[in-house]
Amino acid sequence: MGDKILIIDDEPELLELLKLVIEDKTSHQVVTTTNPLQAPALLKETPFDLVITDLKMPHLGGIELLETIRKTDPGLPVIILTAYGTIESAVEALQKGAFSYVTKPFKIDEILINIEKALVFERIKKENINLRRELDLRRRSPFLIGKSPAMKKVNQTILEVSLSEAAILISGESGTGRELVAKVIHLQSPRKEKNFVTLNCSAIPENLVEGELFGYTAGTYPGTLQDKKGLVEEAEEGTLFLDEIGELNLYNQTKLLRLLQEGEYKSLGSNRSQWGNLRFMASTGQDLKEKLKRRDFREDLYYRLSVIQIPLPPLRERKEDIPALAQHFLEKYGRINQKEIRAIHEDALGVLRSWDWPGNIRELETVIERGVIFCKSEFLTISDLILPDRPTSTLLAIEEELFSRPIKEARERLVSHFNAEYIKRVLVKYKGNVSLAAQEIGLKRPYLHRLMKESDIKSKTFRQID
């Protein structure tokens, strides 16, 4: 299906000819009208991709129509049809934003070429705008880096909903970047110049939530000597983000529901109603549908908050994104710590892919930051990935790879990985003391040093671990 074109001209015969030729020569759909006063209503009813309008028409001229279109849809391309005697006016139309003008009488090929140029130009412009928005989105939040199907869907959803006013519910485990997603949406929205205000519903006692949200008058709480503005008022014309919304009790849910439904609220201790103009976003790490079944969460509030739902996948379900995320954090902390680390060694990436990451991306970032601090070469290696609180999964990480190699090479590789992992754990235990580690392992100190050198393990790295 082609693009939709609206043509306005007071000559019915010309309209009939243009419609016939364009629909015959292209896949585009054409709608025509001889009355320019009908054009604004037609444009409101149907999303057209191009407007072609005569310059001189009774009741409403082409330039006036162009100005009206620019106010309602600045990106909609407009081609002006003009007689030879009104070229000066056509130039004025170009200055006011028309894409091009075609003089009457014109050749059919000329109008067809102008139509395709306008449509292609607008298509490229939209693609560039979307690309800039996507690049800006990724720059603002590394948590959104990734080519996995799950993250492609998340990123596409963010691009689609940022310009809307709909309430959004972001779900996902801790460390998946729920608040960062909300911030990115806010910064891509028409409200980006206003405040982004956060309330962590799990961090405030239940009896204080209402006051935090709506504010309170002096004397409402013991020792309060002056009025306090609530977060709703702080978020006026901006965005209010309610983190861990599932922690709100039913009383506070009811208060919040009134604000969402009516836009109305009252400060504690006040009888004066106030109205809020703000966008709502919320997040949860819980299964709210289960809370609905237990009647721990109001159904009407749930549907008010979840007009748009964005589920964030845990890192264990998007492991193909780990290399890109890890490289991003490597570059970030390399700059911060003034270290020239080129990349992450393939074996280290295998280890990173093998872990389940219960702390998700936040945990990965911590591991890479720690690794950068300890790294002494231009590559981040297995020996730099220190996690003394949890055994690593090096052998699991290389298991699949081993079966694609000749048996001798696979055996050597397996032994090498085992040696590195075993030595690293013992050095962690003895905080880098090679003599005690050698005694524990049952090797002579020089031989342990040789094994450490082969695996690029440095004892001083482990002395920094508490």
Handedness of CA 86, 92, 98, 99 (dihedral sign): positive
pLDDT at 412: 76
Asked whether the predicted pLDDT for residue 464 surpasses 70, the reply is no
Q: For 205-263, where are the E strands, in sequence order?
A: 239-243
Query: What Cα–Cα distance (Å) separates residue 92 from each residue in 41, 52, 79, 290?
Result: 25, 16, 13, 62
pLDDT at 141: 57
| Domains of the chain listed by start with CATH number | 4-128 (3.40.50.2300), 141-313 (3.40.50.300), 317-463 (1.10.8.60)
Structure tokens, 239: 């965005």
Tell me: the pLDDT tens digits for 20-47?
999 988 889 999 999 989 988 898 888 8
Contact indicator for 216, 224 with CB cutoff of 8 Å:
yes
Q: Any idea what DSSP says for residue 381?
A: -
pLDDT at 317: 92
Tell me: the pLDDT tens digits for 278-331?
999 999 999 999 999 999 999 999 999 999 999 999 999 999 999 989 988 998
**What average pLDDT does this structure show over 439-450?**
86
Is residue 356 very low, low, confident or very high in pLDDT (cuts 50, 70, 90)? confident
Asked whether the predicted pLDDT for residue 48 surpasses 80, the reply is yes
Tell me: the pLDDT tens digits for 124-161?
777 666 656 555 655 555 557 778 898 889 988 988 89
Closest CA to 33 of 52, 56, 46: 52
Structure tokens, 341: 């680390």
Tell me: the pLDDT tens digits for 445-460?
888 888 888 877 877 7
pLDDT at 404: 61
Other C-beta atoms lying within 10 Å of the C-beta of residue 327: 16
**What average pLDDT does this structure show over 248-271?**
92
- Could you tell me what percent of the chain has a pLDDT over 90? 35
What's the mean per-residue pLDDT of the chain? 85
Residue type, 74: P
